[in-house]
A and B are shown apart, each in its own frame.
Chain A
Amino acid sequence: MTHSNEPRFHVALRQTLTPHDFEAQVPRLVRACREFGVDEVLFFIYDMELDHPATGFWPLETIAAHARQLALAKLELEKVGVRVGINPFTSLGQGDRGRDMHRLFSFQPLVDQYGTPCRAGACPLDESWREYYREATRLWASFHPSRFFIDDDFRWHNHAAATGGGRMTCFCPLHLAEFERRCGRKATREELVADILKPGEPHRARAQWLDMQRDILEGTAALIEGAVHGASPETEVGLMCSPPDIHALEGRDWTRLLRAFAGKGRPLLLRPHFPAYEEGPLRHLPIGLLTTRQTIAQFAPGERITHFVELDNCLPTAFNRSPDYIAFQTMACAALGQGSIHYSLFEFTGNSTLYEDCGEYGRMLRELRPCVDRVLAWTDGPRREAGIGLIDNPGSAYAQRLPPGTGDYWALRVNSHAMANGLQLLGHPVTFESSPVLAPAAEVLRTLDDKRLRELLAANLLLDIAAAEVFVERGLSEFVGLSAIVHPDPTRIAVAAERITEAGHPLDGQYMHVRLFTVPPDRILKPLPGAQALTQHVAPMNVPVGPGTLLFGNRLGGRVAIVNSQANVIDSGVHLCPQRQQ
């Protein structure tokens, strides 16, 4: 797969200019851009509520007045060579957080699967919201921003309602009516939810629902695109986003949605997420970057697309993330050929000392520029990632077979990463691009049909125990070198360690931990003749229990390795050790 961005560091700073004390904030921002080497500012329309009622959506006259202020600020920034775009924080709504749109608007609220309505989340099927948002978008675009980024609340999930709920929307009356219009079936919310979450083989209502939800967002994206380009034809329109595994819950077709935002014939624009928002354990960095890489991999080779990787120091102050942490993230992006970065580094309140308080971020940006440019020069041109391949399934929610008793929509979610962090921490690169070796996650495998599973078996597979079980459950155990996976009585099994038993291995006879605080191995592999055990799980008194790691070559030409551990254990300090590396 090949994607290319600008072959130089492009710093896009997301920054709020609050309506209060506006004139004083502009020169401070201009000075900061000059001193820190900022290429583009993205006006973040975030803290309007410091100056306006907490309604989540603002009156059009308020937006018009602020857009006029921003137009003046844009002129000042352009004088020092800085491009200016815009990122309104709200389209459908980011969560109630004490806001109540009904103080000003009568929009149909987003409603979750349990019937809980949001107070500051609007359903995009509501014509009054569509009229409002079309005009709001036109006003924001009236100062001709370079880029117009819709924030990541343009989604059906995570619209936290003040009273709890809002995780997955929208099941409002307008949605039920639209479902009836499209599918010819009148259903209550409860009936529809029950069908969507029916255990076992998915009910056809689920695919109909997902198709409808996808189409509604694509249609709304086209509405926004038309409004932006009606006011400012030169503006690029794009989207911020959540991780792909979560967007699969709403049936997202990434290319179609981004095309709807971009407009016909224009390149696509996306801000892939690079979690986390706060500085956490360093060992979480590889899996965070993998979310970014998975997002970029959603697009076909050759697609014209600009990625601005999101490095969000949220909420931004020096107490949240250190410059070295952000610099490391930036350099990792550069090594992947991604030099266009969206930074949120400085607080959004308009305080007079916000740039001085976080001056270390400015110094970081200045110092990074030659470093990033030098590495980008090594990534210019076509490139392919290599490593252990991971697979995901953007259509997973269509195919997920739910177990009995599942009542929550989020049970449809899959995790594509499985062993990925453990592998990376051991020093093995992974990729969502094509690879001769795949380490598919069990949750993804469960959403694939038998034909696809057989195709995978002709490749080279690294499976954790959960992934191996999927093949056994589907009657394909002979292809992974197993006659069975036994679930012993958990009160009678106590695996003490894993012992290397491969003849001739320099570490033959050494032990590796398998348990501490995590769940110990609770499955026993029963290998077929021809399968080679490299390690053995042993019980107390060194009694063999069963293979820990198994290699097998199947008659489809595929090679399979099974590691008898759960993915979350493989990512833990219990599993990772020098012996595992070898």
Chain B
Amino acid sequence: MGRVLEFLFGAALQMRVRNLPLCLPLLSVHAGHILAVAGNVRSSPGRQATIQLRGRAPGSQAEPTARVEGLLFAGGTLKQVEVEVQPPGPDGWWSYIIKEQILPLGMAILKIESASPR
């Protein structure tokens, strides 16, 4: 499905989640940032779960950057989480690797600063 969606989205903003089988993904574009969410709806933790983004948001043309803040929610607590950023290669995908497990019924919430072309 990944290859199919790359074909369909072309240069438009696209998100996908890796290493988190059974996922609740959410994506929204705000003034100055992109909010990307990966919730774990499987009863085992997601390890090295990765949110990937590519392309530009229709309208604002905002695109992802390397500046990211991460929050990890689980069991009634929310804490900051380290996020490793891998800039895009030829395929255009930014990778944001969550450095802790996403527990069942937990979620990673990333605030990714966006840049707009001048």
Contacts and interface: CB of A to CB of B under 8 A. Distances in A.
A370 interface: yes
Contacts of A502: 3
Given A427-B25, A462-B4, A285 B39 contact: yes
Interface in B38-79: 38-39, 41-43, 57-59, 71, 73, 75-78
A158 interface: no
Most buried by B among A375, A427, A431, A436: A427
Contacts of B109: 331, 335, 375, 378
Interface residues of B, number: 50
Interface of A: 282-283, 285-286, 289, 323-325, 327-328, 331-332, 335-337, 363-364, 367-368, 370-371, 374-375, 378-379, 381-388, 423-429, 431, 434-437, 460-462, 502, 505, 534, 549, 551, 559, 561, 563, 576, 578, 580-582
A378 B35 CA distance: 8
Contacts of A384: 28-29, 57, 59
A559 B13 CA distance: 16
B41 A581 contact: no
A374 B39 contact: no
B16 to A, nearest CB: 5
B4 A534 contact: yes
Contacts of A336: 26, 28
Contacts of A461: 8
A332 B39 contact: yes
Given A385-B28, A427-B20, A549 B42 contact: no
A104 B76 CA distance: 48
Contacts of B5: 388, 428, 437, 462, 561
A70 B107 CA distance: 40
A427 B39 CA distance: 9
26 contacts: A282-B42, A285-B39, A286-B24, A286-B25, A324-B76, A325-B105, A331-B107, A335-B109, A379-B35, A381-B30, A385-B29, A387-B27, A424-B23, A427-B18, A427-B20, A428-B17, A429-B15, A437-B5, A462-B4, A462-B5, A505-B3, A534-B3, A549-B4, A561-B4, A561-B7, A582-B1
Contacts of A435: 58
A189 B13 CA distance: 52
B1 A382 contact: no
Contact of B76 (A286, A323, A549): A323
A424 B21 CA distance: 10
A283 B78 contact: no
A580 B15 contact: no
B76 A364 contact: yes
Contacts of B35: 335, 378-379, 383
Contacts of A370: 78
Given A328-B107, A332-B37, A427 B17 contact: yes
Contacts of A578: 21
Nearest to B12: A436
A285 B4 contact: no
Contacts of A561: 4-5, 7-8
Contacts of A424: 23-25
Nearest to A285: B41
A490 B15 CA distance: 38
A219 B43 CA distance: 48
Contacts of A367: 76-77
A283 B22 contact: yes
Contacts of A582: 1-3
A385 B73 contact: no
Contacts of B23: 286, 424-427
A462 to B, nearest CB: 6
Contacts of B2: 581-582
Contacts of A388: 5
A461 B9 CA distance: 10
A502 B15 CA distance: 23
Contacts of A425: 21-23, 41
Contacts of A460: 8-10
